[in-house]
Structure 1
Amino acid sequence: MAATVIKAVVSAAVERLVTKPMENVNVDVSPGGKLQYCDDQHYGRNDDCQDECGHCKNGPACDKNTGHCPSGCQPGWKQPMCQDQCDAGYYGDCSKQCGAGCGEHCTRSANCHTCDVATGQCSCRPRWGPDTTCTDCANGHYNRSSDCSGQCGHCDGGNPCNKDTGYCGRCEPGWKPLLCQEECSDGLYGQDCRGQCGHCSESPKCNKVTGNCTSCQPGFQMPLCQQLCRNGQYGVNCNKTCGQCANNDACNKTNGHCPGSCQGAFKPPLCNSGEYWCMNIAVMVRVCVSGICSTQTDPTFNEERIRLERKLSSLG
Protein backbone atom coordinates (compact mmCIF):
# COMPACT_ATOMS: atom_id res chain seq x y z
CA MET A 1 0.00 0.00 0.00
CA ALA A 2 2.82 2.40 0.92
CA ALA A 3 4.58 1.67 -2.36
CA THR A 4 1.41 2.52 -4.25
CA VAL A 5 1.10 5.89 -2.48
CA ILE A 6 4.74 6.80 -3.13
CA LYS A 7 4.37 5.86 -6.79
CA ALA A 8 1.30 8.09 -7.11
CA VAL A 9 3.11 10.97 -5.44
CA VAL A 10 6.14 10.70 -7.73
CA SER A 11 3.92 10.42 -10.81
CA ALA A 12 1.98 13.54 -9.85
CA ALA A 13 5.18 15.47 -9.18
CA VAL A 14 6.63 14.54 -12.57
CA GLU A 15 3.41 15.58 -14.31
CA ARG A 16 3.46 18.91 -12.47
CA LEU A 17 7.05 19.59 -13.47
CA VAL A 18 6.26 18.86 -17.11
CA THR A 19 3.24 21.17 -17.19
CA LYS A 20 5.02 24.00 -15.26
CA PRO A 21 8.75 23.51 -15.91
CA MET A 22 9.74 27.12 -15.07
CA GLU A 23 8.24 27.07 -11.59
CA ASN A 24 10.42 26.35 -8.55
CA VAL A 25 8.29 23.53 -7.20
CA ASN A 26 8.68 22.23 -3.63
CA VAL A 27 7.31 18.76 -3.08
CA ASP A 28 6.36 17.63 0.45
CA VAL A 29 5.75 13.89 0.65
CA SER A 30 3.61 13.39 3.75
CA PRO A 31 2.10 10.15 5.10
CA GLY A 32 -1.20 11.22 3.57
CA GLY A 33 0.37 11.86 0.18
CA LYS A 34 -0.28 15.64 0.28
CA LEU A 35 1.71 17.80 -2.22
CA GLN A 36 2.76 21.46 -2.00
CA TYR A 37 3.73 23.28 -5.22
CA CYS A 38 4.38 26.83 -3.84
CA ASP A 39 7.40 28.75 -5.13
CA ASP A 40 9.90 30.43 -2.77
CA GLN A 41 7.85 33.62 -2.46
CA HIS A 42 4.55 31.98 -1.49
CA TYR A 43 2.95 29.50 0.90
CA GLY A 44 -0.52 28.07 1.59
CA ARG A 45 -2.11 25.23 3.54
CA ASN A 46 -4.83 24.53 0.99
CA ASP A 47 -2.43 24.07 -1.91
CA ASP A 48 -3.47 27.48 -3.33
CA CYS A 49 -0.16 29.32 -2.62
CA GLN A 50 -1.98 32.64 -2.33
CA ASP A 51 -0.06 33.97 0.68
CA GLU A 52 3.28 35.76 0.29
CA CYS A 53 6.27 35.01 2.46
CA GLY A 54 7.49 37.77 4.80
CA HIS A 55 10.90 39.39 5.17
CA CYS A 56 12.81 36.21 5.90
CA LYS A 57 16.48 36.35 6.71
CA ASN A 58 18.82 35.05 4.00
CA GLY A 59 16.19 35.19 1.30
CA PRO A 60 12.46 35.12 0.70
CA ALA A 61 11.86 31.36 1.19
CA CYS A 62 9.51 30.45 4.03
CA ASP A 63 7.79 27.26 5.23
CA LYS A 64 5.33 26.28 2.51
CA ASN A 65 2.66 25.26 5.00
CA THR A 66 2.95 27.80 7.85
CA GLY A 67 4.75 30.76 6.24
CA HIS A 68 7.24 30.86 9.13
CA CYS A 69 10.78 32.00 8.31
CA PRO A 70 13.13 29.13 9.27
CA SER A 71 16.22 31.34 9.76
CA GLY A 72 14.46 34.24 11.43
CA CYS A 73 13.60 37.70 10.11
CA GLN A 74 15.50 40.49 8.48
CA PRO A 75 16.29 43.30 11.00
CA GLY A 76 13.23 45.34 11.88
CA TRP A 77 10.60 42.60 11.42
CA LYS A 78 8.70 40.47 13.94
CA GLN A 79 8.97 36.69 14.10
CA PRO A 80 7.75 34.17 13.15
CA MET A 81 6.06 35.43 9.96
CA CYS A 82 8.31 38.47 9.51
CA GLN A 83 5.45 40.47 8.03
CA ASP A 84 5.02 43.11 10.75
CA GLN A 85 7.60 45.75 11.64
CA CYS A 86 8.94 46.19 15.16
CA ASP A 87 6.84 48.24 17.56
CA ALA A 88 7.74 51.93 17.91
CA GLY A 89 10.85 52.34 20.02
CA TYR A 90 12.33 48.94 19.11
CA TYR A 91 14.62 47.74 16.35
CA GLY A 92 16.70 44.82 15.09
CA ASP A 93 15.06 41.57 16.18
CA CYS A 94 12.43 43.77 17.87
CA SER A 95 13.84 43.13 21.34
CA LYS A 96 16.31 46.05 21.30
CA GLN A 97 15.08 49.43 22.47
CA CYS A 98 15.86 52.70 20.69
CA GLY A 99 17.65 55.45 22.58
CA ALA A 100 21.32 54.55 22.87
CA GLY A 101 23.29 57.58 21.68
CA CYS A 102 20.18 59.59 20.84
CA GLY A 103 20.50 63.28 21.75
CA GLU A 104 17.91 65.82 22.78
CA HIS A 105 17.10 66.64 19.17
CA CYS A 106 16.00 63.13 18.24
CA THR A 107 12.34 62.59 17.49
CA ARG A 108 10.24 60.83 20.09
CA SER A 109 7.10 58.75 19.99
CA ALA A 110 5.17 58.93 23.26
CA ASN A 111 7.87 58.54 25.93
CA CYS A 112 10.51 56.83 23.82
CA HIS A 113 12.85 57.71 20.99
CA THR A 114 12.07 56.67 17.45
CA CYS A 115 14.84 55.11 15.40
CA ASP A 116 15.50 53.12 12.26
CA VAL A 117 13.85 49.74 12.81
CA ALA A 118 16.74 47.93 11.13
CA THR A 119 19.83 49.75 12.45
CA GLY A 120 18.61 51.52 15.58
CA GLN A 121 19.92 54.85 14.32
CA CYS A 122 18.02 57.81 15.74
CA SER A 123 15.63 59.86 13.66
CA CYS A 124 16.42 63.56 13.99
CA ARG A 125 14.08 66.50 14.26
CA PRO A 126 13.87 68.77 11.20
CA ARG A 127 17.11 70.72 10.50
CA TRP A 128 19.15 68.47 12.83
CA GLY A 129 21.72 65.84 11.86
CA PRO A 130 23.60 64.92 9.74
CA ASP A 131 24.74 61.97 11.87
CA THR A 132 22.43 59.86 13.99
CA THR A 133 23.28 61.51 17.31
CA CYS A 134 21.25 64.57 16.25
CA THR A 135 23.65 66.89 18.08
CA ASP A 136 24.58 69.03 15.06
CA CYS A 137 22.74 71.00 12.38
CA ALA A 138 21.91 69.09 9.23
CA ASN A 139 23.87 69.99 6.09
CA GLY A 140 22.44 73.18 4.62
CA HIS A 141 21.57 74.68 8.02
CA TYR A 142 23.43 76.56 10.74
CA ASN A 143 23.02 78.40 14.07
CA ARG A 144 22.97 75.60 16.60
CA SER A 145 22.05 78.03 19.37
CA SER A 146 18.78 78.84 17.61
CA ASP A 147 17.48 75.40 16.60
CA CYS A 148 19.53 75.42 13.37
CA SER A 149 17.19 78.05 11.94
CA GLY A 150 19.78 79.53 9.54
CA GLN A 151 19.96 78.30 5.94
CA CYS A 152 23.34 78.09 4.24
CA GLY A 153 24.08 80.25 1.21
CA HIS A 154 25.70 79.34 -2.12
CA CYS A 155 28.83 77.61 -0.82
CA ASP A 156 31.25 76.47 -3.52
CA GLY A 157 30.73 72.89 -4.67
CA GLY A 158 27.58 72.50 -2.58
CA ASN A 159 29.70 72.13 0.55
CA PRO A 160 28.00 72.71 3.92
CA CYS A 161 28.55 76.00 5.69
CA ASN A 162 29.90 76.43 9.21
CA LYS A 163 27.23 75.07 11.58
CA ASP A 164 27.63 78.00 14.00
CA THR A 165 28.32 81.05 11.81
CA GLY A 166 26.95 80.00 8.42
CA TYR A 167 30.20 81.08 6.74
CA CYS A 168 31.29 79.25 3.59
CA GLY A 169 34.91 78.41 2.88
CA ARG A 170 34.39 79.78 -0.65
CA CYS A 171 31.33 81.00 -2.53
CA GLU A 172 30.02 79.84 -5.86
CA PRO A 173 30.87 82.37 -8.62
CA GLY A 174 28.62 85.42 -8.43
CA TRP A 175 28.06 85.49 -4.65
CA LYS A 176 29.56 87.62 -1.86
CA PRO A 177 31.56 86.06 0.96
CA LEU A 178 31.25 85.12 3.76
CA LEU A 179 27.63 83.92 3.90
CA CYS A 180 27.34 83.70 0.09
CA GLN A 181 23.72 84.80 0.25
CA GLU A 182 24.00 88.08 -1.71
CA GLU A 183 24.95 88.52 -5.36
CA CYS A 184 28.15 90.38 -6.25
CA SER A 185 27.86 94.16 -6.36
CA ASP A 186 27.60 95.79 -9.81
CA GLY A 187 31.03 95.90 -11.37
CA LEU A 188 32.27 92.70 -9.74
CA TYR A 189 31.93 89.06 -10.73
CA GLY A 190 33.29 85.54 -10.29
CA GLN A 191 34.30 83.49 -7.26
CA ASP A 192 34.01 85.53 -4.08
CA CYS A 193 33.36 88.56 -6.37
CA ARG A 194 37.10 89.04 -6.97
CA GLY A 195 36.77 89.76 -10.71
CA GLN A 196 36.25 93.32 -11.98
CA CYS A 197 33.97 93.93 -14.94
CA GLY A 198 35.50 95.26 -18.15
CA HIS A 199 34.41 98.17 -20.35
CA CYS A 200 30.85 96.99 -20.91
CA SER A 201 28.52 99.29 -22.82
CA GLU A 202 26.18 99.13 -19.81
CA SER A 203 29.13 99.73 -17.45
CA PRO A 204 29.72 98.85 -14.72
CA LYS A 205 27.38 95.88 -15.10
CA CYS A 206 28.51 92.50 -16.40
CA ASN A 207 27.41 88.91 -15.84
CA LYS A 208 28.07 88.30 -12.15
CA VAL A 209 29.16 84.70 -12.75
CA THR A 210 31.25 84.89 -15.96
CA GLY A 211 32.03 88.61 -16.27
CA ASN A 212 30.79 88.64 -19.88
CA CYS A 213 29.26 91.84 -21.29
CA THR A 214 26.35 92.02 -23.69
CA SER A 215 28.27 94.68 -25.66
CA CYS A 216 31.55 96.60 -25.28
CA GLN A 217 32.35 100.28 -25.24
CA PRO A 218 34.15 101.40 -28.44
CA GLY A 219 37.70 100.11 -28.60
CA PHE A 220 37.30 96.85 -26.63
CA GLN A 221 36.86 93.19 -27.59
CA MET A 222 34.01 90.89 -26.58
CA PRO A 223 33.13 89.08 -24.40
CA LEU A 224 34.89 90.49 -21.31
CA CYS A 225 35.63 93.89 -22.89
CA GLN A 226 38.96 94.02 -21.08
CA GLN A 227 41.27 93.86 -24.10
CA LEU A 228 41.73 96.62 -26.68
CA CYS A 229 40.80 96.00 -30.31
CA ARG A 230 43.48 94.41 -32.46
CA ASN A 231 45.48 96.73 -34.70
CA GLY A 232 43.43 97.55 -37.76
CA GLN A 233 40.08 97.39 -35.91
CA TYR A 234 38.10 99.92 -33.94
CA GLY A 235 34.64 100.88 -32.69
CA VAL A 236 31.92 99.09 -30.74
CA ASN A 237 32.93 95.43 -30.28
CA CYS A 238 35.84 96.14 -32.71
CA ASN A 239 33.50 95.62 -35.67
CA LYS A 240 35.00 98.32 -37.94
CA THR A 241 38.21 98.35 -40.02
CA CYS A 242 40.74 101.16 -39.99
CA GLY A 243 41.27 103.32 -43.09
CA GLN A 244 44.42 104.00 -45.12
CA CYS A 245 46.62 105.58 -42.46
CA ALA A 246 50.06 106.78 -43.60
CA ASN A 247 52.95 104.42 -42.90
CA ASN A 248 50.35 101.71 -42.14
CA ASP A 249 49.92 103.21 -38.71
CA ALA A 250 47.17 101.76 -36.51
CA CYS A 251 44.13 103.95 -36.16
CA ASN A 252 42.59 105.06 -32.88
CA LYS A 253 40.77 101.99 -31.51
CA THR A 254 37.86 104.05 -30.25
CA ASN A 255 36.99 106.39 -33.17
CA GLY A 256 39.12 105.04 -36.05
CA HIS A 257 41.07 108.29 -36.59
CA CYS A 258 44.54 107.96 -38.07
CA PRO A 259 47.30 109.42 -35.86
CA GLY A 260 48.93 111.35 -38.70
CA SER A 261 48.24 111.81 -42.40
CA CYS A 262 46.58 109.41 -44.83
CA GLN A 263 48.05 107.35 -47.63
CA GLY A 264 47.80 108.96 -51.06
CA ALA A 265 44.85 111.30 -51.46
CA PHE A 266 42.63 109.71 -48.78
CA LYS A 267 41.05 112.26 -46.49
CA PRO A 268 41.66 112.42 -42.75
CA PRO A 269 40.68 111.70 -40.10
CA LEU A 270 39.37 108.25 -41.10
CA CYS A 271 41.37 108.04 -44.35
CA ASN A 272 38.76 105.81 -45.96
CA SER A 273 37.63 108.09 -48.85
CA GLY A 274 39.02 110.90 -51.07
CA GLU A 275 39.94 112.08 -54.58
CA TYR A 276 42.37 110.03 -56.55
CA TRP A 277 43.66 110.63 -60.08
CA CYS A 278 43.72 107.78 -62.55
CA MET A 279 44.44 107.35 -66.26
CA ASN A 280 41.68 106.13 -68.52
CA ILE A 281 42.46 106.04 -72.27
CA ALA A 282 44.85 108.97 -71.99
CA VAL A 283 42.16 111.07 -70.34
CA MET A 284 42.67 112.15 -66.79
CA VAL A 285 39.57 111.56 -64.65
CA ARG A 286 38.81 112.10 -61.00
CA VAL A 287 37.27 109.38 -58.87
CA CYS A 288 35.92 109.82 -55.34
CA VAL A 289 35.87 106.28 -54.08
CA SER A 290 38.27 104.14 -52.11
CA GLY A 291 41.25 105.33 -54.10
CA ILE A 292 41.53 102.16 -56.21
CA CYS A 293 41.76 102.76 -59.96
CA SER A 294 40.12 100.39 -62.41
CA THR A 295 43.05 100.93 -64.84
CA GLN A 296 46.74 101.40 -64.33
CA THR A 297 47.63 104.69 -62.66
CA ASP A 298 49.84 106.95 -64.74
CA PRO A 299 53.21 106.98 -62.90
CA THR A 300 53.79 110.61 -64.03
CA PHE A 301 51.01 111.82 -61.78
CA ASN A 302 52.70 112.50 -58.49
CA GLU A 303 51.24 114.36 -55.53
CA GLU A 304 52.68 117.71 -56.73
CA ARG A 305 51.00 117.39 -60.08
CA ILE A 306 47.73 116.40 -58.44
CA ARG A 307 47.80 119.58 -56.34
CA LEU A 308 48.55 121.65 -59.47
CA GLU A 309 45.65 120.09 -61.38
CA ARG A 310 43.29 120.81 -58.50
CA LYS A 311 44.44 124.46 -58.41
CA LEU A 312 43.92 124.84 -62.15
CA SER A 313 40.50 123.26 -61.84
CA SER A 314 39.52 125.74 -59.14
CA LEU A 315 40.51 128.69 -61.38
CA GLY A 316 38.11 127.80 -63.97
Structure 2
Amino acid sequence: MTSRDLPHPGILRYTAFSTDPAGGNPAGVVLDATGLDDAAQLAIAAELGYSETAFLTAPPEGLGGEPGRAFTVRYFSPQAEVPFCGHATIATAIAFAERHGPGDLLLATRAGTVPVTVTEEGGALRATLTSVEPAVLDAAAADVTEVLAALGWRASDLDPAAAPRIAFAGARHLVLTAATRSRLADLAYDFDRLTALMRALDLTTVQLVWRESETVFHVRDPFPVGGVVEDPATGAAAAAFGAYARELGLVAPDAVLTLHQGADMGRPGELTVTLRTDDTRVRVSGAGVRIPENG
Protein backbone atom coordinates (compact mmCIF):
# COMPACT_ATOMS: atom_id res chain seq x y z
CA MET A 1 0.00 0.00 0.00
CA THR A 2 1.35 3.46 -0.87
CA SER A 3 0.31 6.90 0.33
CA ARG A 4 -1.82 7.30 -2.83
CA ASP A 5 -3.90 4.31 -1.74
CA LEU A 6 -4.70 5.66 1.70
CA PRO A 7 -8.28 6.87 2.20
CA HIS A 8 -7.30 9.91 4.32
CA PRO A 9 -4.30 12.21 3.71
CA GLY A 10 -3.42 12.39 7.41
CA ILE A 11 -2.91 8.66 7.92
CA LEU A 12 0.44 7.58 9.35
CA ARG A 13 1.79 4.06 9.72
CA TYR A 14 3.93 3.11 12.72
CA THR A 15 5.00 -0.11 14.33
CA ALA A 16 4.98 -0.42 18.13
CA PHE A 17 7.21 -2.46 20.45
CA SER A 18 10.08 -2.62 17.97
CA THR A 19 12.68 -0.32 16.40
CA ASP A 20 12.47 -2.36 13.19
CA PRO A 21 9.58 -1.46 10.85
CA ALA A 22 9.31 -5.17 10.01
CA GLY A 23 8.87 -6.10 13.68
CA GLY A 24 6.36 -5.31 16.39
CA ASN A 25 2.73 -4.50 15.70
CA PRO A 26 1.78 -2.05 12.93
CA ALA A 27 -0.87 0.56 13.65
CA GLY A 28 -2.51 3.33 11.73
CA VAL A 29 -2.38 6.78 13.34
CA VAL A 30 -4.44 9.85 12.48
CA LEU A 31 -3.20 12.75 14.63
CA ASP A 32 -6.09 14.99 13.57
CA ALA A 33 -9.31 13.11 12.93
CA THR A 34 -11.52 16.18 13.14
CA GLY A 35 -14.49 15.75 10.82
CA LEU A 36 -14.18 11.98 10.47
CA ASP A 37 -17.35 10.20 11.59
CA ASP A 38 -17.56 6.60 12.80
CA ALA A 39 -18.08 5.20 9.32
CA ALA A 40 -15.05 7.06 7.95
CA GLN A 41 -12.82 5.92 10.79
CA LEU A 42 -13.92 2.32 10.35
CA ALA A 43 -13.33 2.56 6.61
CA ILE A 44 -9.79 3.83 7.15
CA ALA A 45 -9.06 1.02 9.61
CA ALA A 46 -10.48 -1.56 7.20
CA GLU A 47 -8.49 -0.17 4.26
CA LEU A 48 -5.24 -0.26 6.23
CA GLY A 49 -5.96 -3.76 7.49
CA TYR A 50 -3.92 -3.37 10.67
CA SER A 51 -5.31 -4.78 13.90
CA GLU A 52 -6.07 -1.21 15.05
CA THR A 53 -5.90 2.41 13.90
CA ALA A 54 -6.00 5.31 16.37
CA PHE A 55 -7.78 8.61 15.76
CA LEU A 56 -7.11 11.76 17.79
CA THR A 57 -9.59 14.61 18.26
CA ALA A 58 -10.04 17.43 20.74
CA PRO A 59 -10.17 16.41 24.42
CA PRO A 60 -13.42 16.36 26.38
CA GLU A 61 -14.05 19.31 28.64
CA GLY A 62 -12.32 18.96 31.98
CA LEU A 63 -9.83 16.28 30.95
CA GLY A 64 -6.87 18.34 32.11
CA GLY A 65 -3.34 17.75 30.95
CA GLU A 66 -0.94 20.13 29.24
CA PRO A 67 -2.57 22.31 26.56
CA GLY A 68 -2.00 20.83 23.13
CA ARG A 69 -1.03 17.48 24.62
CA ALA A 70 -4.43 16.14 25.72
CA PHE A 71 -6.79 14.39 23.31
CA THR A 72 -9.72 12.10 22.82
CA VAL A 73 -8.60 8.88 21.13
CA ARG A 74 -10.69 6.20 19.48
CA TYR A 75 -9.47 2.86 18.19
CA PHE A 76 -10.91 0.90 15.28
CA SER A 77 -10.04 -2.59 14.10
CA PRO A 78 -10.94 -3.53 10.51
CA GLN A 79 -14.35 -4.68 11.76
CA ALA A 80 -15.28 -2.71 14.87
CA GLU A 81 -14.35 -0.07 17.42
CA VAL A 82 -12.46 -1.32 20.48
CA PRO A 83 -12.39 0.47 23.85
CA PHE A 84 -8.62 0.53 24.24
CA CYS A 85 -5.55 -0.51 22.25
CA GLY A 86 -2.09 -0.47 23.76
CA HIS A 87 0.08 -0.80 20.67
CA ALA A 88 -1.82 1.92 18.81
CA THR A 89 -1.41 4.15 21.89
CA ILE A 90 2.36 3.60 21.86
CA ALA A 91 2.47 4.23 18.10
CA THR A 92 0.38 7.40 18.43
CA ALA A 93 2.51 8.78 21.24
CA ILE A 94 5.72 8.23 19.28
CA ALA A 95 4.23 9.72 16.11
CA PHE A 96 3.16 12.78 18.11
CA ALA A 97 6.56 13.08 19.82
CA GLU A 98 8.41 13.01 16.50
CA ARG A 99 6.45 16.12 15.51
CA HIS A 100 6.10 17.94 18.85
CA GLY A 101 8.84 16.54 21.08
CA PRO A 102 8.94 14.00 23.90
CA GLY A 103 6.91 14.57 27.04
CA ASP A 104 3.55 13.73 28.53
CA LEU A 105 0.24 13.09 26.80
CA LEU A 106 -3.17 12.59 28.37
CA LEU A 107 -5.62 10.48 26.38
CA ALA A 108 -9.35 10.11 26.97
CA THR A 109 -10.27 6.60 25.80
CA ARG A 110 -13.59 4.77 25.98
CA ALA A 111 -12.05 2.70 28.79
CA GLY A 112 -10.91 5.73 30.80
CA THR A 113 -8.08 8.23 31.03
CA VAL A 114 -4.65 6.93 29.97
CA PRO A 115 -1.49 8.98 30.65
CA VAL A 116 1.44 8.37 28.30
CA THR A 117 5.03 9.54 28.63
CA VAL A 118 7.53 9.59 25.75
CA THR A 119 11.26 9.75 26.42
CA GLU A 120 14.29 9.70 24.17
CA GLU A 121 16.83 6.98 24.92
CA GLY A 122 19.97 6.70 22.82
CA GLY A 123 18.41 8.60 19.96
CA ALA A 124 15.27 6.43 19.91
CA LEU A 125 11.84 7.27 21.28
CA ARG A 126 10.17 5.08 23.87
CA ALA A 127 6.63 5.44 25.17
CA THR A 128 5.08 4.29 28.44
CA LEU A 129 1.34 4.12 29.00
CA THR A 130 -0.34 3.80 32.38
CA SER A 131 -3.43 1.62 32.26
CA VAL A 132 -6.82 2.31 33.74
CA GLU A 133 -7.59 0.50 36.99
CA PRO A 134 -7.22 -3.22 36.25
CA ALA A 135 -9.36 -6.16 37.38
CA VAL A 136 -8.92 -9.93 37.36
CA LEU A 137 -12.03 -12.11 37.25
CA ASP A 138 -12.73 -15.83 37.45
CA ALA A 139 -13.21 -17.63 34.15
CA ALA A 140 -16.08 -20.12 34.03
CA ALA A 141 -14.91 -23.69 33.57
CA ALA A 142 -17.32 -24.24 30.67
CA ASP A 143 -15.95 -21.19 28.87
CA VAL A 144 -12.36 -22.34 29.34
CA THR A 145 -13.30 -25.76 28.00
CA GLU A 146 -14.88 -24.19 24.92
CA VAL A 147 -11.86 -21.97 24.28
CA LEU A 148 -9.53 -24.93 24.57
CA ALA A 149 -11.69 -26.85 22.09
CA ALA A 150 -11.59 -23.91 19.64
CA LEU A 151 -7.80 -23.72 20.00
CA GLY A 152 -7.36 -27.46 19.65
CA TRP A 153 -5.67 -27.57 23.08
CA ARG A 154 -6.13 -30.11 25.87
CA ALA A 155 -6.44 -29.24 29.55
CA SER A 156 -3.06 -30.92 30.04
CA ASP A 157 -1.51 -28.29 27.72
CA LEU A 158 -2.06 -25.65 30.43
CA ASP A 159 0.41 -24.78 33.19
CA PRO A 160 -1.23 -25.97 36.43
CA ALA A 161 0.56 -23.22 38.37
CA ALA A 162 -1.36 -20.44 36.61
CA ALA A 163 -5.13 -20.79 36.42
CA PRO A 164 -7.13 -19.25 33.57
CA ARG A 165 -8.59 -15.85 34.37
CA ILE A 166 -10.25 -12.96 32.58
CA ALA A 167 -8.03 -9.90 33.03
CA PHE A 168 -8.91 -6.28 32.29
CA ALA A 169 -6.76 -3.16 31.98
CA GLY A 170 -8.81 -1.26 29.43
CA ALA A 171 -10.11 -4.30 27.54
CA ARG A 172 -11.02 -7.86 28.54
CA HIS A 173 -8.63 -10.73 27.78
CA LEU A 174 -8.82 -14.40 28.71
CA VAL A 175 -5.35 -15.44 29.90
CA LEU A 176 -4.30 -19.05 29.34
CA THR A 177 -0.80 -20.17 30.34
CA ALA A 178 0.78 -22.91 28.24
CA ALA A 179 2.88 -25.61 29.87
CA THR A 180 5.49 -25.61 27.09
CA ARG A 181 6.97 -23.28 24.48
CA SER A 182 6.16 -25.81 21.77
CA ARG A 183 2.47 -25.69 22.69
CA LEU A 184 2.51 -21.90 22.38
CA ALA A 185 4.33 -22.06 19.04
CA ASP A 186 1.76 -24.38 17.48
CA LEU A 187 -1.25 -22.11 16.99
CA ALA A 188 -4.01 -23.15 14.60
CA TYR A 189 -7.56 -22.54 15.76
CA ASP A 190 -11.20 -22.59 14.69
CA PHE A 191 -11.69 -18.93 13.75
CA ASP A 192 -15.50 -18.90 13.78
CA ARG A 193 -15.85 -20.96 16.95
CA LEU A 194 -13.41 -18.80 18.91
CA THR A 195 -15.00 -15.62 17.54
CA ALA A 196 -18.43 -16.65 18.76
CA LEU A 197 -17.29 -17.34 22.31
CA MET A 198 -15.16 -14.19 22.49
CA ARG A 199 -18.12 -12.07 21.44
CA ALA A 200 -20.31 -13.76 24.04
CA LEU A 201 -17.72 -13.02 26.74
CA ASP A 202 -16.81 -9.53 25.43
CA LEU A 203 -13.16 -10.50 24.99
CA THR A 204 -10.75 -8.48 22.89
CA THR A 205 -8.12 -11.22 22.64
CA VAL A 206 -7.22 -14.54 24.18
CA GLN A 207 -3.76 -14.10 25.65
CA LEU A 208 -1.67 -17.26 25.45
CA VAL A 209 1.42 -17.21 27.67
CA TRP A 210 4.49 -19.33 28.30
CA ARG A 211 6.86 -18.50 31.13
CA GLU A 212 10.57 -18.64 30.29
CA SER A 213 11.93 -17.37 33.62
CA GLU A 214 10.96 -15.39 36.70
CA THR A 215 10.32 -12.19 34.75
CA VAL A 216 10.42 -13.23 31.06
CA PHE A 217 7.32 -14.46 29.21
CA HIS A 218 6.39 -15.31 25.63
CA VAL A 219 2.87 -14.39 24.54
CA ARG A 220 0.49 -14.72 21.58
CA ASP A 221 -2.91 -13.11 21.06
CA PRO A 222 -5.57 -14.54 18.75
CA PHE A 223 -7.81 -11.60 17.71
CA PRO A 224 -10.59 -13.01 15.50
CA VAL A 225 -13.20 -10.56 16.80
CA GLY A 226 -11.18 -7.80 15.13
CA GLY A 227 -10.99 -9.68 11.86
CA VAL A 228 -7.34 -10.53 12.49
CA VAL A 229 -6.05 -14.06 13.10
CA GLU A 230 -3.36 -12.91 15.51
CA ASP A 231 -2.12 -9.63 16.96
CA PRO A 232 1.70 -9.34 16.75
CA ALA A 233 2.28 -7.25 19.94
CA THR A 234 -0.61 -6.41 22.23
CA GLY A 235 -0.17 -3.60 24.74
CA ALA A 236 -3.66 -3.84 26.24
CA ALA A 237 -3.23 -7.57 26.81
CA ALA A 238 0.23 -6.96 28.27
CA ALA A 239 -1.30 -4.57 30.82
CA ALA A 240 -4.02 -7.10 31.60
CA PHE A 241 -1.40 -9.83 31.97
CA GLY A 242 0.55 -7.68 34.42
CA ALA A 243 -2.56 -7.43 36.59
CA TYR A 244 -3.13 -11.20 36.22
CA ALA A 245 0.45 -12.10 37.18
CA ARG A 246 0.28 -9.86 40.24
CA GLU A 247 -3.15 -11.13 41.31
CA LEU A 248 -2.05 -14.78 41.11
CA GLY A 249 1.25 -14.09 42.88
CA LEU A 250 3.30 -15.23 39.89
CA VAL A 251 5.68 -12.27 40.19
CA ALA A 252 6.92 -9.91 42.88
CA PRO A 253 4.71 -6.95 43.83
CA ASP A 254 7.38 -4.62 42.43
CA ALA A 255 8.46 -6.17 39.14
CA VAL A 256 9.60 -5.38 35.62
CA LEU A 257 8.48 -8.07 33.19
CA THR A 258 9.64 -8.64 29.63
CA LEU A 259 7.10 -10.02 27.18
CA HIS A 260 8.27 -11.36 23.83
CA GLN A 261 5.59 -11.47 21.17
CA GLY A 262 5.40 -11.81 17.39
CA ALA A 263 8.42 -14.07 16.82
CA ASP A 264 6.16 -16.94 15.77
CA MET A 265 4.63 -14.61 13.15
CA GLY A 266 7.95 -13.28 11.88
CA ARG A 267 7.35 -9.87 13.54
CA PRO A 268 9.30 -10.01 16.82
CA GLY A 269 8.54 -7.36 19.39
CA GLU A 270 9.30 -6.68 23.03
CA LEU A 271 6.94 -5.23 25.64
CA THR A 272 8.00 -4.08 29.11
CA VAL A 273 5.41 -4.39 31.88
CA THR A 274 6.07 -2.57 35.15
CA LEU A 275 4.24 -3.32 38.40
CA ARG A 276 4.56 -1.05 41.43
CA THR A 277 3.40 -1.46 45.01
CA ASP A 278 2.47 2.24 45.21
CA ASP A 279 0.04 2.06 42.26
CA THR A 280 -2.37 -0.70 41.25
CA ARG A 281 -2.33 0.44 37.62
CA VAL A 282 0.00 -1.28 35.16
CA ARG A 283 2.61 0.42 32.99
CA VAL A 284 3.46 -0.87 29.53
CA SER A 285 6.49 0.45 27.65
CA GLY A 286 7.93 0.00 24.21
CA ALA A 287 9.77 1.52 21.31
CA GLY A 288 8.24 2.44 17.98
CA VAL A 289 9.18 3.58 14.52
CA ARG A 290 7.52 4.84 11.37
CA ILE A 291 6.89 2.31 8.62
CA PRO A 292 8.26 3.52 5.27
CA GLU A 293 5.70 4.17 2.55
CA ASN A 294 7.07 1.27 0.53
CA GLY A 295 7.20 -0.98 3.61
- TM-score normalized by structure 1? 0.16
Specify which structure has the higher proportion of helix.
2
- TM-score normalized by structure 2? 0.17
Specify which structure has the higher proportion of strand.
2
Query: Does 1 or 2 have the higher relative contact order (CA < 8 Å, sep 6+)?
Result: 2
Larger radius of gyration: 1
